[in-house]
Structure formats: C-alpha cells, structure tokens
Structure 1
Amino acid sequence: MGSKPPFIEDPYPSGSQVIREAFRRRWIPPNVMIRPLSENTIKQYNSTLKLWWKYCRITNFSPFEYDISQTLSFLQHILDSTGNSFGSFKSHRAALSLITSTELGANSELKRFMKGVYRTRPPKPKYDSTWNTQDVLHFLQNSSETHLKFLSCKLVTLLALATGHRINIRIPDFIKT
C-alpha cells in the first residue's frame, strides 16, 4: 500500500474529532451533523474509533475509507481478542458506518458476520432473575404482619405490580420465602 496516510501518524485525536473529520472529508458541515449525536453516543463510539484508528495505523489503511475486507478483518480481530457481546458489535458497526459514509448494515457479508457473532455471543437476558407475581401476591395476602415497615414494603410491591411497566426492585429479605 505504500506509505501511511499522514493523519494516521498523528496520535488518536478523539471520537468527536474523528467524526468531524469524516464529515469534513465528505463536504458535509460537521458542526450541524454532529449535533444529533448525544454525548453518550460519542463516548460509546470513541472506544470503537480508537481501536479502528490503531488498527488502521497497523494495517496502513485510511480510517475514513470503506473496504469490506478491512472492516471484517477489524471486527474479527475484536471478536478474537475481546469478550464483547453482540450488542457491542452493533455499536462497532454503527460507529464505523458513521465515519466511512457507508451503511454497513446493508452489506451482505457484514450481515452474515453479524449473524455469526449473534450465534457465537448471543445477547444476554436483561434480567438474571425474575420472580413469580402469583407467589408474591399469595404471600402478601396470607401475611398477618402489621408493623409499618412490612406494610410500607407491601404497598410499594403492590404499586409496582399494578403499573403497566414493571420496575426492578429488590425484594426485602423478610418477604422472600
């Protein structure tokens, strides 16, 4: 490939600077285009972009160019060297799509790769444990406790069960059976 692109010799700037440079290279006003990205999204993409920058430096490749083989090689490197979950790979794909100006999610090879990652590292369940509401209701109905702390916990539990969306609450030890 010849000599390294001059910007790759520079130390990694930051996620927002890389995104701005990517927009600038496509003649898109970066200040307006970066505004829809939240600070947390930029922080999340920063880890991917930093790894991508380092990978491009090693492979002598421009981080702003699109090449599916380079992209897949990079993602395979992450798969081999980390314990990243499928959700992390979706984030990696989104970050790279942003700076390469290519909808990576539409690429058939990348779709196949992502399916492989999904099967290799499936998403983990949102909760590691759940509780049966019938057991809780039965316990509360048959309890003769009258002290204020128990009645307060009973009220909070019933309110949580009555809402349309459940909240993740810690069940007090004295309610557990």
Structure 2
Amino acid sequence: MECVRESTTASYESAWKNRVNWNHEQGSDPLSSSLITILQFLTDLANSNSSYSSVNTSRSMLSSTLDPIDGYKIGEHPTVVQLLKGCFNRKPPKARYNSLWDPEIVLIYLDSLPNNSDLSAAVLSKKLATFLALATISRVSEIMSISFHSLRFSPTAASFSLTRPKKAQHSGPLKSFVLPRFKGKCCPVECLESYVAISREWRDPDSSALFLSIRRPHKPVGSSTLGRWIKTCLSDAGLDPSSFSAHSTRGDAASKAVKQGIPVDTVL
C-alpha cells in the first residue's frame, strides 16, 4: 500500500514474524482477533525484554492486520491501550546517548585533511556524508534520498531537495535545503562540488541518487553504507565508535547550533 512507507512495512513484517512464531508455539491462529490471545502475545513480548518501542510496533501491526474488536481497532481497544501504558511505565524508552560530542572535534579533523582534489573517492565520500549530516541535521535515510538532479550551485550557496518525504513529514512539498559557502576546507558546498566532479564518470544519467558506491558498478548506496561512512569519519576524528552512531550527528549538530545562538524554532 502506498500509504505505508517502506520502513514501516519492514518493521511490520518483522513484528508479524514474531506473531506467527508465538502463535505456532501456542498452537493458535495468528489471524485470530481474540482479545485474550492478543493481550497475552503483547504481554509475553514485553516480558521477553523487548523494548517498549517493539511492543508498540507490534500493537500497530496488529491494528493494520487483524479485524477490529468490539468496534475498536486493536491498537485503540481500551484494554490494549491500558496494557501499553503499563509497558511504558514499567520500561520507559531510554535516551540513546548519555552524553554529547562537540562537532568542532569532527570539523577540526575534516579541516586537517588534504584539499578535496587530493582526496581519494572513498575519503571524499565519507567527508561529504558527514558534512551533510552536520549541516542539514538530517537522518541518514534522508541524506540517502538527496536528489542529484535537484542540485543547484551559485557563487554563494548550493541547494538541493529530497526524493522522498522526511520521516516525520506527512504532508507538504518535499524538503529542500540551501547551504551557504564558507571559506576554507570546511565548506560543505565545495566538498559537494568536488564529489559531483569526481563521480560524474560513474553516473547513470537516469539515476537520481547523489551518493554512489565507490566500487563498480557504482550503484546508489543505502542507509547502512552511508551510516558506516559517517561513523568511520567520526572514529577517524577521535570519537569512540562504540558510544556514538551516525545518527548522533543530529542531536549534536542541533545542540551546537542552539549554543551558537540559533533559535530553537529555526533548528526544529
């Protein structure tokens, strides 16, 4: 269904497999809308050390898959709602990170690298991915969806848009970004221009992806690859790779922006 995004479908498929396995062990029908078995399934899932998020995903999956109960969608049934409140109170979601890192550390590292024209394609790709993660405060999946055909350069800035909605976007036009030019080697726009130049010979004219695999046949890279590139760059800058993921660039860049005096509403 086009109203459900690919990431949601993947989460539901995983939750459904858990549901089928549980029902197989119980000797029951996974397509049954019995309130008792649904409550037991969610309870057992919560007691198996699954996170609240996982239990909630299963609740949503059941709502979209099974028939309503007592006139309610399963996820909106009062008893299911009470169960999920109990799960939340017993095991509330924890913050992913206990501390922040200063983006200045990464910028100093990037500034220490040779000129863009002297960098290998691998290093330039990682540098650009990290620059864009910090400059746009975007998720890796959103950076992956930057449209190559939307790129526009001017003497003062570069602009581009995404090929798909942002995770929290449910209406309106696709998100666009404008990045100003800066002096020195820490300019995302100059890095972007260098990447476009070095990757031009790899490109399929019909491909809309900005980031391509370094190895032949130079297919568009996925979120996991981009995340690995960014995490490698953070590690090379001296950060502990076991403590921070590529996604940490969002919170750290946003916090740095607020500390620099940018209004919270603008950051949001």
Name the CA shift for 1:127/1:71 in 2 (closer, same or farther; >3 Å): same
2:136 partner letter: T
CA contact 1:85–1:123 (8 Å) conserved in 2 = yes
- Aligned position for 2:34: 66
What is the DSSP-based 3-state SS (H/G/I as helix, E as strand, rest coil) of the residue aligned with 2:79? helix
Q: 1:175 aligns with which of 237, 241, 246?
A: 237
- Aligned position for 2:86: 116
Q: Is residue 17 of structure 2 the alignment partner of residue 46 of structure 1?
A: yes
- Residues in 2 aligned to 1:55 and 1:47: alpha-carbon distance in whole angstroms: 12
Q: Is residue 44 of structure 2 the alignment partner of residue 77 of structure 1?
A: yes
Deviations 1:49-70 (A, max 9, x none): 331353353xxx8952433x44
- Aligned position for 2:60: 94
- Residues in 1 aligned to 2:30 and 2:25: alpha-carbon distance in whole angstroms: 11
The offset of 1:114, in angstroms, is 0.6
2:135 partner letter: A
Structure 1, 149-158 or 110-119: larger mean CA deviation: 149-158
1:76 partner letter: T
CA contact 2:53–2:93 (8 Å) conserved in 1 = yes
Determine what percentage of the aligned residue pairs are the same residue: 22
The number of equivalent residue pairs is 137
Deviations 1:102-130 (A, max 9, x none): 31222222112112212333335456875
The offset of 1:135, in angstroms, is 3.4
- Residues in 1 aligned to 2:34 and 2:124: alpha-carbon distance in whole angstroms: 59
Structure 1, 148-157 or 105-114: larger mean CA deviation: 148-157
When the two chains are superposed, the root-mean-square deviation of aligned CA atoms in Å is 4.0
Quick check: which one's strand share is greater?
Answer: 2
Instruction: Identify unmatched segments of 5+ residues in structure 2.
Output: 141-226, 240-268
1:77 partner letter: D
Instruction: Identify unmatched segments of 5+ residues in structure 1.
Output: 1-33
1:46 partner letter: K
Name the CA shift for 1:44/1:107 in 2 (closer, same or farther; >3 Å): closer
- Aligned position for 1:158: 131
Name the CA shift for 1:100/1:174 in 2 (closer, same or farther; >3 Å): closer
- Aligned position for 2:102: 132
Deviations 1:114-155 (A, max 9, x none): 1221233333545687532233335555x4x54745984895
Structure 1, 91-100 or 132-141: larger mean CA deviation: 132-141
What is the DSSP-based 3-state SS (H/G/I as helix, E as strand, rest coil) of the residue aligned with 1:100? coil
Name the CA shift for 1:75/1:138 in 2 (closer, same or farther; >3 Å): same
- Aligned position for 2:156: none
1:122 partner letter: P
Quick check: which one's helix share is greater?
Answer: 1
CA contact 1:49–1:96 (8 Å) conserved in 2 = no
2:18 partner letter: S
Name the CA shift for 1:99/1:135 in 2 (closer, same or farther; >3 Å): same
- Residues in 2 aligned to 1:76 and 1:111: alpha-carbon distance in whole angstroms: 12
